[in-house]
Chain A
């Protein structure tokens, strides 16, 4: 459950928080594309390391490290799978693949820790995405912590009836996971219907064109920020094309 907390907005006062969500998206874009385009181990390490000062500057280091910890568990699985499935590519390859996963996860974490879902929705809308889709994205983010909480309640109820989750052979474990998912899925489907009704009751999707309460405005800091990340992205592309980095 700890992992989810790394993807939920935490109100802090920092310049990264106050930036326009669109400029932060450019930063996210840089991390994602650099990490996917380049696959060497030093590069992935450098990308991860460069997020540390950003996390410190946004005063979210603690939460961000929490994401890192959570991601490492999955990264270990990726490492083992890669090492087993393609041993001819070596351990360094397996390490960089698993590290790539960590970079992707932690860059998203950095973005969501510093951007409110409302701002994100506004940014998406103002970049031309239809309202329904923007809402869909922000709602799914908004319900991540709720889902985590629901899951804990279900697990508690399950264990209270004498069932064990983390014991037995693989089949038994799979069966208990399936049992836990049943109430969760039923309830979340019911909840989504309730949310839909609540939205309609508040005139979502009505005929009138909705007005926007908060205007997005980019300042000089935003422009500088965007330029830096675009510059870095261009650098990556050029160096990659020349075969200088991989």
Chain B
């Protein structure tokens, strides 16, 4: 699906931001890219639809080399939702905002309308159909940006900090949508600091630091490894931390790595759920 080989990048030819990234992402995976600010996460995802081109190395998406494929063509397959919703709203009404990309990609008007309606319903935005996007709250604007990408059904969905500024309920909603996308065998790339969110939904975690990949593996292995988390300046998930305390006190098996509350409870009660 996505193949990145020895990717190097710098904005001004002076400081390298990405220093040799190798990464492969398969269809249907939910991958989280984590790491401290300035590690190169956003720079990396901008390579997925060709907004940035590698200085060295190559990026291939669905067999297309991003260096030679126009962004408009890649964007049909890779939907990126950026961090700040205020910079991504261009239309006069919420509905037009959703129709914008649909029209661009040549969807027939009646199909486009139906898709826009579907996206509004999923994200609870249908009551704002004719309102200006700028009159919505931050959380609603963020959801509108996600809806504006999901409505044209790209194969790969990239979300930069999707949970920031969302309350608990909205986070749950986004999680549900991720689950839906997984059911449809879509590929999802998340950029986030939110370990609690990642622990519940992600199949795989890639940890970046200073333009390199520090760790790459199943969520349990990476988020259960306190050393890696410390090096990447990430706080372990609460369950992992609690399990560590219980292990030090000798209350649970020192080898186990529970990452969900349910697993931890099972360890504590000795296998009885």
Contact = CB atoms under 8 A, between A and B. Distances in A.
Contact of A163 (B79, B89, B104): B104
Interface stretch (B22-30, B68-76, B165-173): B68-76
A180 to B, nearest CB: 7
B76 A162 contact: yes
Q: How large is the interface on B (under 10, 10 to 19, 20 to 34, 35 or more residues)?
A: 20 to 34
Interface in B143-160: 148-149, 152
Interface stretch (B80-88, B182-190, B219-227, B249-257): B80-88
Most chain B CB within 10 A, of A158, A159, A161, is at A161
The majority secondary structure among interface residues of chain A is helix
Contact of B105 (A158, A162, A164, A190): A162
Contacts of B100: 161, 163
Contacts of B79: 160
Contacts of B89: 182-183
Nearest to B148: A161
Given A162-B75, A163-B104, A190 B90 contact: no
B72 A154 contact: no
Interface residues of A, number: 20
Interface of B: 46, 49, 51, 71-72, 75-76, 79-80, 82, 84, 86-91, 100-101, 104-105, 134, 148-149, 152
14 contacts: A150-B87, A154-B87, A158-B88, A159-B51, A159-B75, A160-B49, A160-B51, A161-B100, A162-B72, A163-B100, A163-B101, A164-B72, A180-B90, A190-B86
Interface of A: 150, 153-154, 156-164, 179-180, 182-184, 186-187, 190
